[in-house]
Chains A and B, each alone.
Chain A
Amino acid sequence: MTMKILTSDPNKCNGCRMCQTACAILKAGVCNPEKSRIRVIEMDECDRYLPLVCQNCEDAPCIAACPKEAISRSYDQVVRTVIDYNKCVGCKMCLNACSFGTIGFDEDRGRPFKCDLCGGDPLCVHFCEPGALTLKDPTMIQYDQARVSALKRTAGMRR
């Protein structure tokens, strides 16, 4: 069991969306950015791009919101949240619960999808030309410090 987190650096991202293409082809088999687990959003205010991907939250709102208990934390290859499609009914509760909007919905199958970190070796990281995407393990991130600063930053904008 390893804890890994996929981080993105908006200062390096050039908005080529290669990660979206690679992800969609690997996971959905089609070249359609809509089916990608990773999403790149534009930030007009500061002229930057921000790749967004499931953060595998500790207190995941998607797990709390799911009425069928279809989303759970998996510890097999890498710590992540996974959707059990045998239990999922497609109510979109998780989509509306996710603060990042990183859960997508497959209209053809009527089921949501999310990043599963490709079992510990995400393809998008290999395809990221400018090196904005990196898979970090927790020793590289000071979680306690990050939590304190995040709480300080988000104070007052709780949603």
Chain B
Amino acid sequence: MRYFQVNDQCNGCLACVQNCPANALRAEDSDANRVLSHNMARCARCGNCWRICPQEAIEFQFMLENGWDAVKSLELVYCSVCGVPIYTMDYKRTLSEKLGTSGEPTCSKHRDEVTRAAKAHFLKGRSPDMRGGAI
């Protein structure tokens, strides 16, 4: 995505280069061409170049556009009980690499199912009066 754009009206006068307070613009003459470059990290988005450009060649409005660029798209893993998205496939891979085991993906709400099922299995049939069996 190019945010700083210069249209065809530019004649290479380099007024913008001279007037950029942040030294974010640069011109190089080589191979019979004058190449104008813009540095996004240096640019302070002051709009000085656009203001002074005699040809009105600088399209600064793209610098002020509010938008989101998708930078990554990863496959989701859903809770095996309720189906809400919990983490991504790559997150799961990292986790299983670190732990050496991989289990059913469960959300925090249904994580208890495993504990509950295991514990209930051993408590079943016992009366509440029976003391002991602490974990």
Q: Which residues of A contact B (CB under 8 A)?
A: 7-12, 41-43, 45-48, 50, 52, 61, 64-65, 67, 92-93, 95-101, 134, 153-154, 157-159
Contact = CB atoms under 8 A, between A and B. Distances in A.
10 contacts: A7-B134, A10-B133, A11-B128, A41-B115, A45-B116, A65-B99, A67-B94, A96-B95, A101-B111, A159-B101
Given A8-B134, A9-B133, A159-B103, A45 B98 contact: no
Given A9-B133, A11-B130, A50 B115 contact: yes
Nearest to A133: B134
Given A52-B112, A65-B99, 7 more contacts: A11-B126, A65-B98, A92-B87, A96-B87, A97-B95, A101-B111, A158-B103
Contacts of B70: none
Most chain A beta carbons < 10 A, residue from B86, B115, B124, B132 = B115
Interface in B71-101: 86-87, 91, 94-95, 98-101
Interface in B99-122: 99-101, 103-104, 108, 111-112, 114-120, 122
A134 B134 CA distance: 10
Q: When A and B form their complex, which 5 residue pairs have the shortest distance between CB atoms, in order from nearest?
A: A159-B103, A101-B111, A45-B120, A9-B134, A46-B123
A154 B118 contact: yes
Given A11-B126, A52-B115, A93-B95, A158 B134 contact: no
Interface residues of B, number: 32
Interface in B21-54: none
Contact of A7 (B124, B128, B135): B135
Nearest to A9: B134
A104 to B, nearest CB: 9
B131 interface: yes
Given A52-B115, A65-B98, A154-B118, A159 B104 contact: yes
B124 A45 contact: yes
Contacts of B111: 98, 100-101
B122 A153 contact: yes
Given A46-B123, A50-B119, A101-B108, A8 B98 contact: no
Given A41-B116, A101-B115, A48 B133 contact: no
Most chain B beta carbons < 10 A, residue from A8, A61, A134 = A61
Contacts of B95: 65, 93, 96-97
